Structure 1
Amino acid sequence: MALTANSAKIDYSLVSVPEEGGIKFERITEDADAVSSVFPAKKSIFKFGGSKGNKVDWWVNPQIAITPDGKRLAYINNKNGTTNVMVKDARRGGSSVQRTFRTNVRDFTLSPDGSTICFTEWRSGHYGIYLVDAVQGNVVRQVSNGTDNDFAGQITKDNNHIYFHRGEGYGAYSLWSWDRKNNLFSNYSRGMTPVLDPRNPDVVYCARFTDKNESEIWRLNLNTGVEELILGLPERSFTTPQLSPNGQWLLVTGTSRSEKHKDLNTDIFVVRTDGTQLTQLTFHPGNDLSAIWAPDGKSIYFVSERGTAKKGLYNVWQMDFNL
Structure 2
Amino acid sequence: MQEEVGLNLRKITDDNLSLGHIYTTKPYSFQSSIIGCSAKQRFYWTTFRRMDISPDGNELAYINISDKKGNVMIRKTTSISAATQRTFRNVGSVSWGSDDKIYYADYTNGSNSKICVINSHAGSVMQQITNAASDDDPILAADGKTLFFTRYEGNGGASIWAYNLEDGTLISCARGYNPWPVGDSNEEFLCVRNTARGQSEIWLVNYVKGQETLILSDEERGFTNPTMSPDGKWIVCEGNSKSSVSRKQNLDLFAVRIDGTQFTQLTYHPAMDCCPVFSKDGKTLYFLSNRSQKKTIHCNIWSMKFPF
Q: Shared fold (TM-score greater than 0.5)?
A: yes
Task: Measure the CA separation in 2 of the matches of 1:197 and 1:108.
Answer: 18
3-state secondary structure, aligned to 1:19: helix
**Offset of 1:51 from its aligned partner?**
4.6
2:120 aligned residue (115, 129, 134): 134
1:49 deviates by 3.4
Runs of 4+ residues over 3 Å off in structure 1: 46-52, 309-312
Quick one: which of 132, 135, 140 aligns to 1:155?
140
8 Å contact from structure 2 (residues 271, 289) kept in 1? yes
Question: Across the two proteins, how many residue pairs are aligned to each other?
Answer: 300
Unmatched segments (≥5 aa) in structure 2 = 31-35
SS of residue matched to 2:87: coil
Is structure 2 residue 76 aligned with structure 1 residue 94? no
| 1:110 positional shift | 0.5
Tell me the alpha carbon deviations over residues 124-167 of structure 1, each in whole angstroms, 9 at most, x when there is no partner.
Answer: 24011101011114111111114x20010111233222110111
Cα shift at 1:170? 7.1
Within 2, Cα distance between the matches of 1:162 and 1:95? 30
SS at match of 2:38: coil
Aligned ranges 1:238-249 → 2 under 5 Å = 238-249=223-234
Tell me the secondary structure at the aligned position of residue 186 of structure 2. Answer: strand
Q: Which residue of 1 aligns with 2:19?
A: 37
CA distance in 2, matches of 1:255, 1:171: 26
- How far the C-alpha of 1:169 sits from its partner, in A, is 2.6
Residues 199 and 192 (structure 1), Cα distance of their counterparts in 2 relative to 1, 3 Å cut: same
The question of 1:120 aligning with 2:108 is answered: no
Question: Structure 1 residues 229-238 or 67-76, which shifts more?
Answer: 67-76
Q: Pick from 7, 15, 21: which aligns with 2:5? A: 21
Q: Does 1:50 align with 2:22?
A: no
Counterpart amino acid of 2:119? D
Separation in structure 2 between the aligned mates of residue 210 and residue 79 of structure 1, nearest angstrom: 34
- Aligned match of 2:33: none
Aligned to 2:179: 194
Is 1:110 matched up with 2:101? no
Which of residues 145, 149, 153 in structure 1 aligns to 2:131?
A: 145
SS in 1 for 2:37: coil
Q: What's the CA shift for 1:201?
A: 2.5
Question: Counterpart of 1:123 in 2: which secondary structure?
Answer: coil
Aligned counterpart for 1:297 among listed residues 282, 285, 298: 282
- Whichever residue aligns with residue 45 of structure 1, its letter is K
Q: Which runs of 5+ in 1 are unaligned?
A: 1-16
- Give the whole-Å Cα distance in 2 for the aligned partners of 1:170 and 1:233: 25
Question: Structure 1 length normalisation: TM-score?
Answer: 0.88
Q: Normalised by the size of structure 2, how large is the TM-score?
A: 0.92
How far off is 1:184 after superposition? 2.0
Q: Distance in 1 between the 2:49 and 2:197 partners?
A: 24
How many percent identity over aligned positions? 34
CA contact (8 A) 1:43 1:55 kept: no
Q: CA deviation at 1:43?
A: 5.8
Q: Would the aligned equivalents of 2:18 and 2:297 in 1 still touch at CA under 8 Å?
A: no
* AA partner of residue 193 (structure 2): R
Residue 237 of structure 1: CA displacement?
Answer: 0.3
Deviation at 1:101, TM superposition (A): 1.8
- Note if contact 1:44-1:55 (Cα within 8 Å) is conserved in structure 2: no
- Match in the other structure for 1:12: none
Letter in 2 for 1:161: T
Q: Which moved more, 1:41-50 or 1:304-313?
A: 41-50
